[in-house]
Amino acid sequence: MALKNDQYNQILREYDNRMLQNKFDLDARLKEAYCLIPELKELEDEMISLSATSGRMALFGDDSALKELKALTFKLKTRQKELLESKGLPSNYMEMQYQCNKCKDTGHIGNEKCSCFKQAIADMMYSGSNIKTILAHENFSKFSFRYYSDDFIDETIGLSPLSNMQKVVAGCKAFIKHFNKSHENLLLLGNTGVGKTFLANCIAKELLDHGNTVIYLTAFRLFDILEKHKFGKDEDSSYTASYQFDYILDCDLLIIDDLGTELNNSFTNSQLYLIINERLLRQKSTIISTNLSLTNINTTYGERIFSRIVSSYSVQRIIGEDIRLHKAVNNINS
């Protein structure tokens, strides 16, 4: 494990705190529900009693009595849900709520680390690249088509910026829908400020919410890690970079943002090919965003990388005005 003991223990403490908070929240909901609907407490006490009786029946192998008790328990639970819904509360209001339903906030499924625990490790390892705060503001619920014009047709693609973006977003949502089956990859092309990073973050948010591990790195940060992994001069940085490298290859989704802004040389080219090719072999999805055109990608990174990308990535070209500039101008004028 690349994490130091205190870092690993910090993650474990966060899971302990999460479970304590879950219990605290449940107790608060139960208190509210019992106060609002006193009959719920009677039903809950009766179900607890039935559960104890069922346990005793199971010890004696009384199957017929067990079936009757299960039927009665089901009837009580149904009544409980009806009472909750009659007061506008969710039917599961009196059940424990988890941030991760896969592991029930324990961090493990059996002897294996849950994907949420792996993501917590990744976030800790890539300090400064944790995108969860950003994703609270950059997700599909915040996405708007109003920044894309429908007033002209782009000659190169035969669509208006709005129609094109609607098509791109539909493609991204299909990417999410089939993520765990088809292992697709995306190349987001477009000028500065047209929404490439925002869209990549929208995808990241959806996949994180569905329990996938996601690592977001700018091209500059990616190649910095790769350089330390290959040429690390001190033991600590080389050790950390080695595990970062493993996560880069094995995370469910790798986002490489702003490809082309790094200092390009033979090392970056060889490492980019390694990342792209290895993740394809492992059937791990990658999203690359860049201001470069396909022609420039070919010129900058060479035929091998270009061939891998055009044959294995869905190319989504985004056109339009610089949204960040548009917002800045509006703020000045408002």
Classified as helix, coil or strand, 164 is helix
**Whether pLDDT at 11 is above 70:** yes
Confidence of residue 327 (pLDDT cuts 50, 70, 90): confident
Whether 241 contacts 287, CB under 8 Å: no
pLDDT in tens, 271-296: 999 999 999 999 999 999 999 999 99
CATH 3.40.50.300 fits 126-333, yes or no: yes
Show the tokens assigned to 325: 């500039």
How far is 67 from 70, CA to CA, in rounded Å?
5
Confidence of residue 242 (pLDDT cuts 50, 70, 90): confident
pLDDT (mean) for 160-176: 96
How far is 36 from 196, CA to CA, in rounded Å?
49
Q: Residue 101: CA atoms inside 13 Å, Cβ hemisphere, count?
A: 4
How many percent of the chain have pLDDT more than 70? 88
Q: What is the pLDDT of residue 1?
A: 42
Confidence of residue 190 (pLDDT cuts 50, 70, 90): very high
Q: Strands 112-113 and 314-317, how do they pair? A: unpaired
Listing DSSP states for 123-150 in one string gives HHHTTT---HHHHTTSSTTT--GGGS--
Task: Please choose, from the candidates 283, 249, 141, the residue with its C-alpha nearest in 3D space to the C-alpha of residue 198.
Answer: 141
Confidence of residue 234 (pLDDT cuts 50, 70, 90): low
DSSP annotation of 189 reads E
**Contacting residues for 170 by C-beta, under 8 A, at least 6 apart:** none
pLDDT in tens, 120-145: 887 776 654 457 778 888 999 999 99
Q: Residue 21: CA atoms inside 13 Å, Cβ hemisphere, count?
A: 11
Whether 283 contacts 242, CB under 8 Å: no
Listing DSSP states for 94-114 in one string gives TS---S-TTTTTSSEETTEEP
C-alpha distance from residue 332 to each of 192, 323, 326, 327 (Å): 20, 14, 10, 9
Q: What is the pLDDT of residue 73?
A: 81
pLDDT in tens, 289-326: 999 999 999 999 999 999 999 999 999 999 998 887 77
pLDDT (mean) for 159-169: 96
Place of tokens 């000028």: 191
pTM score above 0.75: no
Q: What is the pLDDT of residue 333?
A: 53
Confidence of residue 229 (pLDDT cuts 50, 70, 90): confident
Confidence of residue 19 (pLDDT cuts 50, 70, 90): very high
pLDDT in tens, 95-117: 999 999 999 999 999 988 898 88
pLDDT (mean) for 215-220: 92
**Whether pLDDT at 41 is above 80:** yes
C-alpha distance from residue 198 to each of 161, 173, 176, 186, 188 (Å): 16, 14, 15, 14, 11
